[in-house]
């Protein structure tokens, strides 16, 4: 199965999962209370593994993201490292535009880099993620793309490729510009991409402090020091944007991503994020009732070199469900007849998942092992048998 085909099937499955979450019967939904009221212009809580939305308020409202912009800047840095076009130990020249004394940066967050003083990509990465340095973003932007303007074009191309339909960048750092906008949904997608695609680089987001140029700065995501399950991501603030925080936490195998935009203070964005995460972990769970490659049934094969074939799913079935103490049970429905040749991944029916007597999900039933066509006489015989069965059935 090609990667594109697998991704398409996963996307379809995630959509089905979210629909089942919305349409599940009362036995599963009645136990979940109304989400907490959050003091912010926009917010979102999603399950990292399934994309299921647990809480939302104005998730597609375009707002100034402030330093939450740096999620994309850091993501592109990570991409360049993975592609081999950028080394963590590469020394980056600091231009006057990237100098911390540039008047554009006055009063904003800085790493305190300066022309003539060596700084590496790894140091700039921490300056962006931990210190939220606007000077660091310009330095890495110029180093990667030649100019900040060219890097911003790259940011917007990444946004388009990632499906961030409500996002437009005008700079690499997030200082105010009337057309520099994003949404809670887009920021959640960017955070998920950072976690999924670059786990080694994502580890930097959990670091609580960073010292450069004899100046120690502390990660502004205060939840890192108060909740061991939180391991990222980024804060943001300008007078125009208000206070924002994109956070992620993992507890007992479940990872959630929360986004808060347009909150009123640092303490407010922290408490609001904590409320969202606690709500999600307390009342929902990420369940994997069926593993990819596990046999769920045997199917009768006609006109094949084998008379039986193993059936199941080729990728894990992952569901976001309200927490209740009840087993999730799979039921297999096979489309008949199964006629060779069969390839791994061929869809031959469906898997229906139920819990406490209520449907909670559905997936495509797939062939787990290839079956080649039989010889002429075996095919002829099965054709005759099938014809009689259909005639009598």
Q: How far apart are CA 334 and CA 110, in angstroms?
A: 61
Name the token pair of 79. 């991409």
CB 185 within 8 A of CB 51: no
CB 242 within 8 A of CB 263: yes
Q: How far apart are CA 72 and CA 193, in angstroms?
A: 10
Q: How far apart are CA 271 and CA 18, in angstroms?
A: 27
Name the token pair of 191. 């955070």
CB 323 within 8 A of CB 286: no
The CA dihedral of 182, 185, 191, 197, to the nearest 10 degrees, is -110
Contacts of 340 (CB under 8 A, 6+ apart): 301, 302, 303, 304, 305, 371, 372, 373, 374
Whose tokens are 């599940």? That residue is 24
Three-state DSSP class for 85?
Answer: coil
Active-site option among 9, 42, 70, 100: 70
Active-site option among 42, 67, 100, 108: 67
Q: How far apart are CA 178 and CA 170, in angstroms?
A: 9
Q: For residue 103, what is the DSSP state?
A: G
| Torsions phi, psi for 141 (to 5 deg) | -65, -45
Number of helices (H) and strands (E) in the chain: give both, helices first. Answer: 10, 15
| Catalytic residue check, 70 | yes
Q: Which of 196, 151, 206 is nearest to 173 (CA)?
A: 151
Q: How far apart are CA 4 and CA 190, in angstroms?
A: 20
Q: How far apart are CA 107 and CA 251, in angstroms?
A: 37
Bond from prior residue into 150 cis (ω within 30 degrees of 0): no
| Torsions phi, psi for 197 (to 5 deg) | -90, -25
Active-site option among 131, 132, 258, 275: 132
Active site residues: 67, 70, 132
């Amino acid at each position: 199965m090609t990667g594109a085909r697998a991704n398409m099937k996963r996307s379809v499955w995630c959509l089905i999962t979210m629909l089942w979450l919305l349409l599940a019967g009362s036995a599963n939904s009645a136990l979940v209370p109304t989400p907490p009221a959050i003091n912010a212009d926009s917010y979102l809580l999603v399950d990292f593994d399934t994309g299921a939305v647990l809480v939302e308020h104005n998730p597609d409202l375009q707002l100034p993201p402030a330093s939450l912009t740096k999620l994309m800047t850091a993501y592109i840095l990570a991409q360049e490292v993975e592609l081999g076009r950028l080394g963590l130990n590469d020394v980056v020249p600091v231009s006057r535009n990237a100098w911390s004394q540039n008047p554009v940066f006055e009063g904003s967050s800085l790493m305190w880099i300066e022309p003539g003083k060596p700084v590496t990509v790894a140091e700039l990465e921490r300056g962006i993620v931990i210190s939220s340095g606007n000077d660091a973003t310009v330095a890495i932007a110029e180093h990667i793309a030649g100019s900040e303007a060219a890097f911003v074009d790259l940011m917007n191309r990444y946004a388009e490729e990632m499906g961030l339909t409500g996002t437009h960048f005008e700079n690499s750092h997030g200082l105010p510009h009337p057309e520099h906008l994003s949404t809670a949904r887009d920021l959640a997608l960017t955070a998920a991409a950072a976690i999924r695609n670059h786990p080694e680089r994502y580890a930097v987001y959990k670091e609580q402090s960073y010292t450069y140029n004899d100046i120690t700065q502390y990660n502004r995501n205060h939840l890192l020091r108060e909740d061991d399950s939180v391991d990222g991501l980024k804060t943001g603030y300008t007078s125009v944007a208000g206070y924002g925080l994109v956070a992620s936490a993992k507890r007992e195998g479940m990872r959630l991503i929360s986004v808060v935009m347009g909150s009123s203070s640092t303490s407010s964005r922290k408490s609001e994020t904590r409320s969202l995460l606690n709500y999600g972990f307390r009342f929902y769970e990420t369940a994997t009732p069926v593993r990819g490659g596990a046999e769920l049934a045997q199917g009768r094969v006609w006109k094949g070199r084998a008379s039986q074939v193993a059936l199941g799913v080729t990728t894990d079935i992952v569901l976001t469900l309200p927490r209740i103490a009840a087993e999730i049970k799979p039921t297999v429905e096979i489309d008949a007849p199964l006629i060779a040749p069969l390839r791994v991944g061929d869809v031959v029916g469906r898997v229906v998942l139920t819990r406490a007597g209520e449907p909670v999900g559905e997936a495509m039933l797939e062939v787990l092992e290839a079956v080649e066509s039989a010889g002429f006489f075996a095919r002829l015989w099965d054709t005759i048998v099938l014809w009689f069965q259909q005639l009598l059935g």
